[in-house]
Structure 1
Amino acid sequence: MALDPQAKFLLEQMEALGAPAMHTLTPEEARLTTDFSALAGEPEEVGKVEDRKIPGPEGEIPVRIYTPKGEGPFPALVYYHGGGWVIGNLETVEVPCRMLANRANCVVVSVDYRLAPEHKFPAAADDSYAAAKWVVENAASIKVNPQQIAVGGDSAGGNLAAVVALMAREKKEISLAYQMLIYPVTNHSYATESYTENADGYLLTKDSMIWFWNHYLRTEEDGKNSYASPLQAKDLSGLPPALVLTGEFDPLRDEGEAYAQRLKEAGVQVEAARYDGMIHGYFWMPGALEQGKKAIEQAANALLQAFQGSVAAK
């Protein structure tokens, strides 16, 4: 397929700005200069938005809680932003989180987990799990039904959502209804066809991913840990149903699709879709990319169905 015309226009605009490549920056510089909020569009009204701090393994974790209009109790989505475990924050995903809260009629708890390289693996994963556990244990106080809790995220956040699902299965402390994985990082490897085809020129580059992984991992050995590379988990059975969305012109395309396939083979119910013509990051850009808007609609519909299914199963 050809590059989506809106994505092509966006890439041309970015190239014209002449910003330095991500992998040439320090983490601090990257955090200051990387801002996609203008591409998200106007934030929708939701019933209530509240910033809180919740207990984490190494201090408090900031979260932002989006509650739809109505009485509740509502289902909940615990959402982890992307940004290669190094950049990104609650503002980055403000618009998608509001859209998901309204369309899936669920509380969205957006998690500001610790970032690398100040906090290397497994800090982000530990914070992410702690946040999901907090939502389950404090469900009533935020108008949430503890039987209807999903995890989700994009890119490195998709990685964290997949990892939290693995942790929940192994620790047996909480039960999750669903996992929503948007172009997730699933493997510490650059050997796929999509890495070769999309190494440069489509927003997320191979060099940027190497930079992200190098900041996140303590050692090469960490990259083989299933809590860093869920695709390397020996067994994916018994995990919650999943939505896996990928983009055609994304280095992460093949590892996301490989994870969806492995989940299916393990007997997990999976809805998988590749967005043709799309670059990495489209879920953040519903204001500039029509397919970004469609992806959020698809994710919200998948959540609605999953939450209805989880009620029927009880």
Structure 2
Amino acid sequence: MDNRWHEIETSGTTCTPLSVRVYSNEGKVRTPPLVLYLRGGSFLAEGAQCEELPVAKALAESGAVVIEADYSTGSCNEFPAVIDRAFDALDCLSNSRKQYGSAKSLLFVAGEEAGGNVAAGLALKARDRMPGKLAGQILLSPMIDPLMASTSFRDADKIGMRQRWAEGWSRYLAKACGVAHPYAAPCQCTRLDRVAPALIFTAEDDPLRDETVNYAARLRDAGIQVRLHVFPAGSGWTGLYRGEGGKWLSAVCDEFSGFVQDLKN
């Protein structure tokens, strides 16, 4: 699998080149799902990272073409620049489906932790700016609640993430002037109707579990098709925050395959 980054041209307003990395299996299917993937990093990690993402790699090995986009370079990990860069990548991928898959390939956005926040915000923006083009959103422990006050979040110290997440939110919302835009904090969005169907993952021992499960419930209440998978405690899921995979990767791929099949039916 090629882990080299390359720059692409976009028609958006961002002033710096956008770097992407493609994960794909040599045995491509005829119309592979196309997944724009956004890594975690708590809005603190900057620049294109050399380490391959376990989930992105696993999805590619299961038949998808996954395009990881570097949303931090040029955005300083601040809203709204992060969403603008991610939207440029999604728009470019939507208009270049034949280059990576086929004109009939379904388009998805996926993200883990901070990238899950961006993916959820991007799904909302796609609903507003490019309706009908995004087939689904895949959220892996999305970091979507800046209040960090849920019951499960009390366990953040156990995995050494409380301070990091607090610093990340402070950085991401530095220019928000105390008001979190729905694209920046999707859990506070009051209008979730017509957003793309969602495949959502968390775990019983995930500090972000409550905000993730609550967001899934709110999407369902808005009439959105939601597929929620909660891993049991001790599954190693929180290794996701350190860029680690695990036995749960196969379940993620199985759920993704089922999600795609449901959308085709």
Q: TM-score range by the shorter chain?
A: 0.7 to 0.9
The 2-side partners of 1:154 and 1:308 are apart by 22
Q: 1:248 aligns with which of 204, 207, 210?
A: 204
Aligned match of 2:18: 61
Task: State whether structure 2 residue 124 is matched by structure 1 residue 163.
Answer: no
| Residues 117 and 169 of structure 1, relative CA distance in 2, 3 Å threshold | closer
Aligned match of 2:100: 142
Q: Alignment partner of 1:157: what SS?
A: helix
Q: TM-score, normalised on structure 1?
A: 0.74
| Residues 143 and 121 of structure 1, relative CA distance in 2, 3 Å threshold | same
Q: TM-score, normalised on structure 2?
A: 0.87
The 1-side partners of 2:74 and 2:161 are apart by 18
Deviation >6 Å, runs of 4+: none
* Identity within the alignment, %: 28
Q: Answer yes or no: is the 8 Å Cα contact 1:163–1:226 preserved in 2.
A: yes
Deviation at 1:242, TM superposition (A): 1.1
Tell me how large the CA RMSD over aligned residues is.
2.4
Aligned match of 1:121: 79
Partner deviation per Cα, 1:261-298 (whole Å, 9 max, x = no partner) = 10111111112122223563437322xxxxx332x223
The aligned amino acid for 1:64 is: R
Partner deviation per Cα, 1:4-46 (whole Å, 9 max, x = no partner) = xxxxxxxxxxxxxxxxxxxxxxxxxxxxxxxxxxxxxxxxxx4
Partner deviation per Cα, 1:53-111 (whole Å, 9 max, x = no partner) = 123522211100122223534221110000012216443443332211011x1100011
Instruction: Please list, as runs of the form range in 1=range in 2, the aligned pairs for 1:89-128 lying within 5 A after superposition.
Output: 89-103=48-62, 105-114=63-72, 118-128=76-86
The 2-side partners of 1:127 and 1:117 are apart by 7
Deviation at 1:50, TM superposition (A): 5.6
Consecutive unaligned residues of structure 2, counting only runs of 5 or more, are none
Aligned match of 2:181: 225
Partner deviation per Cα, 1:144-173 (whole Å, 9 max, x = no partner) = 445501110100011111111100001135
The 1-side partners of 2:104 and 2:143 are apart by 27
Q: Answer yes or no: is the 8 Å Cα contact 2:39–2:53 preserved in 1.
A: no
The 2-side partners of 1:271 and 1:253 are apart by 15
Aligned match of 2:34: 76
Mean alpha-carbon deviation: is it higher for 71-80 or for 83-92? 83-92
Q: Answer yes or no: is the 8 Å Cα contact 1:80–1:152 preserved in 2.
A: yes
Aligned match of 1:293: 247
Aligned match of 1:201: 158
The aligned amino acid for 1:163 is: G
The 2-side partners of 1:166 and 1:245 are apart by 19
Structure (1/2) with the larger helix percentage: 1
Deviation at 1:222, TM superposition (A): 5.5
> Considering only CA atoms, is the larger Rg found in Structure 1 or Structure 2?
1
The 1-side partners of 2:106 and 2:239 are apart by 27
Deviation at 1:220, TM superposition (A): 5.3
Structure (1/2) with the larger strand percentage: 1
| Residues 143 and 51 of structure 1, relative CA distance in 2, 3 Å threshold | farther
